[in-house]
């Protein structure tokens, strides 16, 4: 650990760091996001809802060259992603293994001595993302640099240099489409850990003058609200349901966060990854596209403001010339085509087909439903979404809906298509049976007040 700096030295370092910001950086205001007035969703500066559809590309800055980064970003933009979660001081020996151009991020592993050549590569990727309309969910550091536990570290952060590093990043990317994500797969255990995170958040706000939203990515099974819900810098909560088992009921954490006061948006920032061995053991099998769809719809219908997808091969940019982490088995460029990512775009398309910021969790609309069937309805009764993971029939209390006539159709989350809508007079209750049944035959029942004239799916 570095010797703590005096306040005077710290201010001097911040001033010097600010001068090193790339002169090529655009000066116009970046795309700014904010929390919607209802404190449940995110919106753009013009008030248009922003659907957070993230992808974990943790090693993007560290392992990808510029051509590879463009291939990746273009693919994710085409599929409808809006946020790319990537780490500046990367997990996989990011302090000692150089990037694709032979550059390390820091001089002497000192957070107050950033290497301009490394950050010019980060700049390039951020700028390419901006051209494609993507936000970077930027993690200043992976957690092993402030709480090793596992990985290679080393621990280099103190509260003082964390603030300086945050100020540097905030200043450098002040006018770029960024969402700050602190933490990095670690949960704080003591006052020093808390001080490091809060100091880094303070530095980021100092550097970017509060221009970007901020959240916290904890380790598996943990939730940012545990430590930081009442902190002013935490704009929305993030939790990690993780990779331990199939059918992890992530909707329970979403529901828990939804009920907290003060209200803040929430999302699952790292659910089970597609093509990841279950509980890290290939003999248990592998998470597939159904697993990632189920986690997404479960959390969204429990009140999330968005969702993050992950692919086990892509986060580490695995290719056969590299040692695989946790049994990665598919070259990352080939993994881009695995079906779960495309289906996340279908999810976003469904929610954006209706004024989804009106949605509130509404389990009471289901009669005699099993716990794995999740429901949300518009607060004005104009529409409802009900998800059945394995195609089980659903009996619905239609009295919760507005209007005398209801339109119903099934949305296929595997293909992104709806069945032909059926219109009928509203009754007290009605039973709906999906077209198919069984694992992997998940369906979303879409109910509309016919007078609302929402588009067919």
Pair 367, 322 in one domain:
no
State the CATH number of the domain containing residue 395. Answer: 2.60.40
What pLDDT digit, counting tens, does each position of 325-335 carry? 999 999 999 99
Mean pLDDT of 199-224: 97
Decide which of 158 and 8 is more confident: 158
What pLDDT digit, counting tens, does each position of 264-313 carry? 999 999 999 999 999 999 999 999 999 999 999 999 999 999 999 999 99
Domain boundary among 328, 352, 376: 352
Q: Identify whether 131 is part of a domain.
A: yes
Range of the domain at 444: 357-452
For residue 429 the two structure tokens come to: 């209750």
Q: Identify whether 5 is part of a domain.
A: no
> What is the number of structural domains in the chain?
2
Q: Identify whether 8 is part of a domain.
A: no
Q: Identify whether 457 is part of a domain.
A: no
Pair 280, 387 in one domain:
no
What pLDDT digit, counting tens, does each position of 390-399 carry? 999 999 999 9
Q: Identify whether 58 is part of a domain.
A: yes
φ, ψ of residue 243 to 5 degrees: the values are: -125, 20
Q: Label residue 7 by pLDDT band (50, 70, 90).
A: very low
Q: Crossing angle for the helix pair 191-208 and 159-172, nearest 10 degrees?
A: 30
Pair 348, 434 in one domain:
no
Pair 296, 388 in one domain:
no
- Global pTM reads 0.93
Give how far Cα 402 sits from Cα of 48, 156, 355, 397, 452, Å: 25, 57, 15, 12, 10
What distance in Å separates the CA atoms of residue 258 and residue 266, rounded to the nearest whole number?
A: 7
Strand bridging mode 443-449 / 405-412:
antiparallel
Please choose, from the candidates 149, 209, 207, 206, the residue with its C-alpha nearest in 3D space to the C-alpha of residue 183.
Answer: 149
Pair 107, 184 in one domain:
yes
Pair 285, 336 in one domain:
yes
Pair 87, 172 in one domain:
yes
Pair 305, 440 in one domain:
no
Pair 93, 198 in one domain:
yes
Pair 320, 411 in one domain:
no
User: What is residue 12's predicted lDDT score, i.e. its pLDDT?
Assistant: 44
State the CATH number of the domain containing residue 333. Answer: 3.20.20.80
Domain boundary among 307, 329, 352: 352
């Amino acid at each position: 650990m570095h010797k703590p700096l005096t306040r005077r030295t710290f201010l001097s370092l911040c001033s010097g760091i600010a001068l090193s910001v790339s002169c090529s950086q655009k000066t116009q205001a970046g795309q700014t996001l904010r929390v919607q007035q209802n404190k449940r969703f995110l919106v753009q500066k013009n008030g248009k809802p922003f659907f957070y559809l993230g992808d974990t590309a943790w090693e993007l800055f560290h392992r990808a060259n510029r051509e590879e980064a463009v291939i990746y970003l273009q693919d994710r933009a085409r599929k409808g992603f809006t946020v790319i979660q990537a780490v500046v001081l990367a997990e996989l020996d990011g302090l000692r293994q150089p990037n694709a151009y032979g550059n390390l991020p820091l001089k002497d592993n000192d957070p107050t001595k950033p290497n301009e050549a490394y950050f010019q590569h980060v700049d390039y990727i951020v700028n390419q993302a901006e051209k494609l309309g993507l936000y970077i969910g930027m993690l200043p550091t992976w957690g092993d640099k402030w709480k090793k536990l596992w990985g290679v570290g080393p621990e280099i952060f103190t509260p003082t240099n964390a603030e300086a590093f945050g100020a540097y990043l905030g200043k450098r990317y002040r006018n770029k489409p960024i969402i700050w994500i602190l933490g990095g797969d670690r949960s704080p255990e003591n006052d020093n850990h808390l001080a490091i995170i809060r100091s880094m958040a303070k530095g980021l706000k100092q550097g970017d003058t509060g221009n970007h939203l901020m959240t916290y990515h904890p380790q598996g099974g943990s939730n940012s609200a545990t430590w930081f819900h009442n902190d002013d810098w935490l704009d929305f909560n993030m939790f990690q349901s993780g990779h331990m088992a199939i059918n992890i009921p992530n909707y329970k954490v979403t529901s828990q966060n939804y009920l907290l006061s003060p209200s803040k948006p929430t999302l699952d920032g790292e659910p089970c990854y597609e093509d990841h061995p279950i509980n890290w053991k290939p003999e248990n099998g592998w998470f597939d596209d159904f697993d990632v769809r189920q986690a997404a719809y479960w959390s969204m219908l429990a009140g999330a403001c968005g969702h993050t997808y992950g692919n086990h091969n892509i986060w580490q940019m695995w290719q056969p010339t590299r040692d695989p982490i946790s049994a990665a088995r598919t070259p990352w460029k080939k993994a881009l085509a695995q079906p779960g990512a495309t289906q996340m775009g279908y999810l976003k398309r469904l929610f954006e087909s209706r004024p989804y910021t009106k949605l509130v969790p509404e389990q009471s609309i289901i009669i005699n439903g099993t716990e794995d069937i999740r429901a949300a309805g518009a607060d004005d009764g104009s529409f409802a979404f009900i998800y059945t993971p394995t195609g089980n029939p659903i009996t619905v209390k239609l009295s919760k809906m507005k209007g005398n006539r209801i339109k119903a159709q099934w949305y296929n989350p595997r293909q992104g298509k709806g069945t032909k809508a059926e219109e009928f007079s509203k009754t007290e209750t009605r039973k709906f049976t999906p077209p198919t049944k069984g694992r992997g035959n998940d369906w979303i029942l879409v109910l509309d007040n016919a007078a609302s004239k929402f588009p067919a799916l």
